[in-house]
Structure formats: C-alpha cells, structure tokens
Amino acid sequence: MIMTPDITRTNCGLENPPRSGGNYAATQQDDLQRGENTLRKEVNLIRSHGGMVVLLKRLQLEKILQLSRSGIYRLMDKNSSAHDPQFPLPIRYGNGKAVYWIAEEVAEWLEAQIRLSRKVNKPNPKATHSQPAG
C-alpha cells in the first residue's frame, strides 16, 4: 500500500516561522533537524504498520525541507550550482503529471546532510595555536 502522510506546518514541527536576525545558519540547522525528526517519525510509523511506502507530495517536501519549489528543483538540476547528486529524485505516480518523493529516501538524505554539517562544523580538538619552538 502507498500512502501520503498529512504533513502540515503544525504537525511537522515547523509552526514557528524562521527567526529574523540572529544566527541564520543555526536557524537553518534547527529547521533541518525538526524536518528530519518529523520525517523519521512518519517513516517509522509507517514501517511499524506493514512496511508501506510513504510518498511525499512536493508541497509536503517543501514544508519538511523548508525549501521553495525552485530550491528543490535546483537540487535536482545537473546544471545548477546547487545540484546535489545525492538528493532523491521524484517518481511519477497516478495520472503521470503528479510527482512524489519516497519519504525514506528523503529521510536518508536529510540524515546525510546533518552528518555532513556536523562533521564540517565540528572544531578540531587536535588543532592548537601554540608557538613553534625556536
């Protein structure tokens, strides 16, 4: 069975709009973490009920990722500077015009983004600012 979850700003943990001012990168990371947590809950819920495939509509994906339509398609566009070859591609289902993303693939991509972000932003404990002996 295939289903699309009801993901709204309220039930996906994104009811608070992005904060103005402050640390924009931290805000993005917070939004990414909330979206990833929500998606993981949705996927785990479906897995526990028979292993159904969860499909996300584009608007649902926009809310989870906090990206615009064009932002999502830039991730998929090989000619874009924002292209990410790891970003999950949509599938066509139903009447042929509608596209959906597989929730589990999106969750895996989000987890990889979080790991990459934490790896890049993690300070190196071995780096010291000592003067060379001389």
**In the chain, where are the structural domains located?**
2-13+24-117
Residue 24 has pLDDT above 60, yes or no: no
Query: Are the beta carbons of 103 and 56 closer than 8 angstroms?
Result: yes
The amino acid occupying position 91 is I
In eight-state DSSP terms, residue 78 is T
pTM of the model: 0.59
Q: What is the pLDDT of residue 11?
A: 47
* Token pair for 82: 């924002």
Q: What is the pLDDT of residue 109?
A: 93
Residue 96 has pLDDT above 50, yes or no: yes
* Token pair for 127: 């780096």
Residue 60 has pLDDT above 70, yes or no: yes
User: Alpha-carbon distance 56 to 102, whole Å?
Assistant: 6
Helix, strand, coil shares, percent, the chain, to 5 = 45, 10, 45
Mean pLDDT of 103-109: 90
- Higher confidence at residue 42 or residue 37? 37
